[in-house]
Amino acid sequence: MDHIAPLSVDDDELALLTDLYQLTMTQAYWKEAMTAPATFSLFFRRLPPERRFMLACGQQHAAERVSRLRFTDRALRRLAEVDHLEPAFLDWLADWRFEGDIWTLPEGTPVFANEPLLEVDAPIAQAQLLESLIMNLVQLETVLASKAVRMVMAARGRPVVDFGLRRMHGVDAAVRGVRAYRAAGLAGTSNVLGGLRHGLALNGTMAHSYVLAHDSEREAFRAFARHYPGTTLLVDTHDTLEGVKTVITLMREEAGLEIGAIRLDSGDLGELARGARALLDAAGHTDVKIVASSGLDEHAIEALIADGAPIDAFGVGTRMGVAADAPVIDLSYKLVEYAGQPKVKRSPGKINLPGRKQVYRRHDAHGGFSGDVIAGRDEHVDEATSLLHPCVVRGETVPEAMASADAARERVTRDLERLPAALRVLAPGDGDYPVTLSEHLARRAGEAP
Amino acid sequence: MDHIAPLSVDDDELALLTDLYQLTMTQAYWKEAMTAPATFSLFFRRLPPERRFMLACGQQHAAERVSRLRFTDRALRRLAEVDHLEPAFLDWLADWRFEGDIWTLPEGTPVFANEPLLEVDAPIAQAQLLESLIMNLVQLETVLASKAVRMVMAARGRPVVDFGLRRMHGVDAAVRGVRAYRAAGLAGTSNVLGGLRHGLALNGTMAHSYVLAHDSEREAFRAFARHYPGTTLLVDTHDTLEGVKTVITLMREEAGLEIGAIRLDSGDLGELARGARALLDAAGHTDVKIVASSGLDEHAIEALIADGAPIDAFGVGTRMGVAADAPVIDLSYKLVEYAGQPKVKRSPGKINLPGRKQVYRRHDAHGGFSGDVIAGRDEHVDEATSLLHPCVVRGETVPEAMASADAARERVTRDLERLPAALRVLAPGDGDYPVTLSEHLARRAGEAP
């Protein structure tokens, strides 16, 4: 039975995507009739070493799923297998609904350490249950969007395309990753389902196997270019520059054969791009573009561009797909208020901010971001924009608060320009973005039990 | 529409989980009437730096999915949105079936560089289409099982439990990861859906929020232990050793209160475990166990045990869940034979082995593994066991060739003991496992076009 288990997690199983202790604690709250309102806050404690900011992504998508979460009969039958969950509690779960509020940053917002990406206000037996689900959902999109935007920054306007499906961590990462990539500003994806589902252009050409399955590289190129006018030919199966010469010969021999680009997928990409460009230009094919792939990441892209490599577009797979330098952020989902009392776990060396919060972002005279203030939710901060907004109220989504995919992408593009220039670099550097606590919150953080 | 996209990939969408170029090339093969048989081989070129072996996992699961793969009407309607795919080709896809053979290593087999985990023999327009799907599926389970078994080795018989759901890359990674963890020998998981679906024991206790939501730690402990006799109490919300003292006081005050274990989740785990053990033992509670979690990985577990820390079980999340030291292996799915001719892409510095292959494993007098020979599929190697077996034949699965979950776990346990002792260490070291090529294959590798 095991090896034919489904790959998918259907909506009617989603309530089971939780750690057992959430159910155990929720049953305890139920037994103890603990129904007071709680607030849980989702944040990370520190930026990964190479990073200057993260893009908050997935928090509104997670909130929307929460608003629809139900324990279906199918899910409850599965839970009946868990020894310590009682039938009466499972009956109670059958009627479980999320009836609280969820405040979120808009999709694609640059976010810094200790700033809530999301806060849940709900009876504790509702809010507690969501921890693992929300963290898993938000972590993936945030990690992937935050990595992908670095490719976009490095490429300085040249298109970057996702080639990561084969190396990403499973089906959900690969498909939902495309949504994060769209927000981050990638130009396309090779992932068919991901691109179709999340509205990102599909890209793709040929593999070495196609060349090898033909009698010669030339035959392979000729056949492919006849099938697909304007296509991209992969020229490195045998010898890259010989491959480029074969392309040029073909175009000379067969008038009307349209070849849009060549792709380099191994070797010294800068050197080969220069060689290929020179050959193409000398033959009058200044319009044939050069696409590069092969183990690229933001640093490799930056170095190629700094070195003047005539590369027109980048295909990026593995290192972006697992966010190789920072495959996780240390997201926490912490109880910060219960029954009207601010709560905080004291941890040596860690900042834990009690109470419901708001993030205020300040702007300079040119619209650039000049610093953030983390404050209590009900505080007012002058000359600053509040970033957290309710996207679920009393269990119902607020459609106008939900960022569309286009809005998320536009926000990322716009906000990148508003970040201080010192943050728009790939390496760790001087000058952190100023994030301060309001006086009230700082006092509370010193006092809370 | 975008933000309510499903999380799941249903069986009837699975054929779309491919890179666009697979479809583009397959349409080209179809146009060119290229129907000759091909063999593609799935392997990795090198072990990650810290690793001495990997556990091949997911290849039989992937093969089984392939045997059932179809382009449903729903999938074909989506593909009609892709400009260069022709209606007649989509009609052809409607009848597409995998009709070839798939040879695989059994689930859980220790595997080394350049050894095929899987080979597909099929008409090229069938075998080509599977590349991205097979790679994505196999990569996840292999990466996660290979990381998890290191925790099991480090823990030297003490139970290791998966706490990774919240930090793993999406829903599929978290749920399917549990299957890999079961094979690797973990004792349990906190992931409810993963554990129920893949038959691994569920574990979990309480979070700091439960303690904070009560008037005192003592009230929280008392309530929880009354609800769940024999439970594990999380003692580090305020001060770990004070928390242990509170547990002891409670047990003294309330006869019959059963507390099975305490959990340490922050601080110097070795020091705190010793302190907690001393307090518990002095109070006569030698039977109360100590569970540790908090940023653990195999090296931390090994160091704690080497240091004599009295820890009875380990909860491991983030670093295991993303396989932090090696989140990808450089899996390749390469054409190695077409129309009866061995094929190989020449790459400077890379080994590419042409033709259909077999892996033979040799044993010493005590049953231990003494070395592997990679050979042509039809070669015979004396005194060695062949590891690749057909698990799909002419498109149909061979049920008796498919390893059950229990068989995979048993194989891992047994094979770990058969690996040379030098490989059963966590650090990179001297003495690679000997993997050689048969004379015939070595000659072929030097000759193939």
ipTM of the complex: 0.96
What order do you get walking across the sheet with B188-189 strand by strand? Answer: B188-189, B160-162, B313-316, B289-292, B259-264, B231-234
Is residue A93 within 8 Å of residue A80, measured between CB atoms?
Answer: no
Interface contact flag, A8 B5, Cβ < 8 Å: no
C-beta neighbour count of B416 within 10 angstroms? 19
CATH topology of domain B159-321: TIM Barrel (3.20.20)
Q: What's at A24, amino acid-wise?
A: T
Q: B433's torsion region: left (phi>0), alpha (psi -120 to 50) or beta?
A: beta
Contacts of B128 in chain A (CB under 8 A): 207, 209-210
3-class SS of residue A123? strand
- Residue A375: which H helix or E strand, with range? strand A369-376
Residues of chain B with pLDDT under 50: 1-3
Nearest beta carbon to residue B166 from set A24, A136, A167: A136
Cα–Cα distance between B79 and A248 in angstroms, integer?
33
Q: What's at B434, amino acid-wise?
A: P
Interface contact flag, A13 B193, Cβ < 8 Å: yes
Structure tokens belonging to residue B409: 């776990």
> Closest approach of chain B CAs to the CA of A238, in angstroms?
6
Cα–Cα distance between B418 and B387 in angstroms, integer?
15
Residue given tokens 């510095």 in the structure block: B349
Render pLDDT for A274-322 as a digit per residue (tens, 0 to 9). 999 999 999 999 999 999 999 999 999 999 999 999 999 999 999 999 9
pLDDT attached to residue A90: 98
Interface contact flag, B212 A19, Cβ < 8 Å: no
> Closest approach of chain B CAs to the CA of A362, in angstroms?
29
- Residue A101: which H helix or E strand, with range? strand A101-104
Contacts of B16 in chain A (CB under 8 A): 192-193, 196
Is residue B289 within 8 Å of residue B312, measured between CB atoms?
Answer: yes
Nearest CA to B433 out of B378, B365, B359 is that of B359
Interface contact flag, B331 A210, Cβ < 8 Å: no
Nearest CA to B293 out of B223, B183, B206 is that of B206
Interface probe, candidates A1, A4, A9, chain B, greatest B C-beta count within 10 A? A9
Interface probe, candidates A1, A2, A131, A222, chain B, greatest B C-beta count within 10 A? A2
CATH entry 3.30.420.40 includes domain B2-145+326-346+388-428: no
Nearest beta carbon to residue A170 from set B81, B140, B198: B140
Interface contact flag, A9 B8, Cβ < 8 Å: yes
Contacts of A139 in chain B (CB under 8 A): 166-167, 169
Structure tokens belonging to residue B426: 């966590």
If you ran DSSP here, which 8-state letter would residue B19 be given? B
Cα–Cα distance between B7 and A195 in angstroms, integer?
14
Q: What's at A203, amino acid-wise?
A: N
Contacts of B34 in chain A (CB under 8 A): 213
Render pLDDT for A194-205 as a digit per residue (tens, 0 to 9). 999 999 999 998
pLDDT attached to residue B447: 72
CATH entry 3.30.420.10 includes domain A2-145+326-354+388-432: no
Task: Provide the sign of the torsion angle of the four alpha carbons B145, B148, B150, B156, taken in this order.
Answer: negative
Structure tokens belonging to residue A24: 């155990």
Interface contact flag, B335 A208, Cβ < 8 Å: yes
Nearest residue of B to residue A346, measured between CA atoms = B238
Interface contact flag, A193 B31, Cβ < 8 Å: no
Interface probe, candidates A131, A161, A328, chain B, greatest B C-beta count within 10 A? A328
Helix axes B131-155, B59-67, angle to 10 degrees: 150
CA B52 to chain CA mean position, Å: 16
Structure tokens belonging to residue B406: 């229990």
Please identify, in words, the CATH class of the domain defined by A148-321. alpha beta
Interface contact flag, A322 B328, Cβ < 8 Å: yes
> Closest approach of chain A CAs to the CA of B421, in angstroms?
31
By residue count, chain A amounts to 449
* B231 backbone dihedrals φ, ψ, rounded to 5°: -75, 175
- Who's near A314: CB < 8 A, 6+ residues apart? A151, A155, A158, A159, A160, A161, A291, A292, A293, A296, A301
- Delimiting residues of CATH 3.20.140.10 domain(s) in chain A: 2-145+326-354+388-432
Render pLDDT for B72-101 as a digit per residue (tens, 0 to 9). 999 999 999 999 999 999 999 999 999 999
> Closest approach of chain A CAs to the CA of B361, in angstroms?
25
Q: A55-89 burial, b for 16+ CB within 10 Å, e for fewer? A: bbbbbbbbbbbbbebbbbeebbebbeebeebeeeb
Cα–Cα distance between B81 and B84 in angstroms, integer?
9
Structure tokens belonging to residue B311: 């820890």
- Delimiting residues of CATH 3.20.20.70 domain(s) in chain A: 148-321
Contacts of A128 in chain B (CB under 8 A): 207, 209-210
Interface contact flag, A5 B179, Cβ < 8 Å: yes
Report yes or no on whether pTM surpasses 0.95: yes
Interface contact flag, A346 B238, Cβ < 8 Å: yes
> Closest approach of chain B CAs to the CA of A30, in angstroms?
11
Task: Provide the sign of the torsion angle of the four alpha carbons B192, B194, B199, B205, taken in this order.
Answer: negative
Nearest residue of A to residue B198, measured between CA atoms = A2
Question: What are the angstrom distances between the C-alpha of A374 and each of A51, A363, B191, B193, B298?
Answer: 20, 15, 33, 36, 37
Interface contact flag, B224 A28, Cβ < 8 Å: yes
Helix axes B170-184, B131-155, angle to 10 degrees: 50
Cα–Cα distance between A221 and A262 in angstroms, integer?
11
Residues of chain A with pLDDT under 70: 1-4, 448-449
Give all strands (DSSP E) within B175-245, no chain letters.
188-189, 231-234
Nearest CA to B356 out of B133, B131, B122, B128 is that of B122
Cα–Cα distance between A33 and A125 in angstroms, integer?
9
Nearest residue of B to residue A179, measured between CA atoms = B2
Is residue B182 within 8 Å of residue B409, measured between CB atoms?
Answer: yes
Cα–Cα distance between A405 and B1 in angstroms, integer?
9
Question: What are the angstrom distances between the C-alpha of B440 and each of B341, B358, B382, B443?
Answer: 15, 12, 14, 5
pLDDT attached to residue A4: 65
Cα–Cα distance between A182 and A162 in angstroms, integer?
10
Interface contact flag, A28 B196, Cβ < 8 Å: no
What order do you get walking across the sheet with A357-363 strand by strand? Answer: A385-386, A357-363, A369-376, A435-437
Q: What's at A103, amino acid-wise?
A: W
Interface contact flag, A209 B25, Cβ < 8 Å: yes
Interface contact flag, B335 A238, Cβ < 8 Å: no
Task: Provide the sign of the torsion angle of the four alpha carbons A20, A23, A28, A29, taken in this order.
Answer: positive
Nearest beta carbon to residue A213 from set B60, B124, B190: B124
Cα–Cα distance between A357 and A336 in angstroms, integer?
9
Nearest beta carbon to residue B193 from set A17, A61, A348: A17
Question: What are the angstrom distances between the C-alpha of A269 and each of A272, A273, A275, A301?
Answer: 5, 6, 10, 10
Q: Which long-range contacts link B241-248 to residues 24+ away (Cβ below 8 Å)? A: B241/B272, B241/B275, B241/B276, B241/B279, B243/B217, B244/B275, B244/B276, B244/B279, B244/B280, B245/B279, B246/B217, B246/B218, B246/B221, B247/B221, B247/B280, B247/B288, B248/B279, B248/B280, B248/B283, B248/B285
Interface contact flag, A21 B213, Cβ < 8 Å: no
Nearest beta carbon to residue A19 from set B40, B204, B212: B204
Cα–Cα distance between A438 and B356 in angstroms, integer?
67
Nearest residue of A to residue B338, measured between CA atoms = A213
pLDDT attached to residue A448: 60
> Closest approach of chain A CAs to the CA of B293, in angstroms?
14
Nearest residue of B to residue A123, measured between CA atoms = B213
Cα–Cα distance between B125 and B122 in angstroms, integer?
8
Interface probe, candidates A83, A135, A166, chain B, greatest B C-beta count within 10 A? A166
> Closest approach of chain A CAs to the CA of B139, in angstroms?
7
Interface contact flag, A347 B266, Cβ < 8 Å: yes
Q: How are the residues of chain A apportioned to helix, strand and coil, as percentages rounded to the nearest 5?
A: 40, 20, 40
Number of inter-chain CB pairs under 8 A, A vs B:
344
H helix runs in A208-297, sequence order: 208-212, 217-227, 240-253, 269-282
- Delimiting residues of CATH 3.20.140.10 domain(s) in chain B: 2-145+326-346+388-428
Nearest residue of A to residue B340, measured between CA atoms = A213
Cα–Cα distance between B160 and B140 in angstroms, integer?
20
Nearest beta carbon to residue A204 from set B24, B203, B344: B24
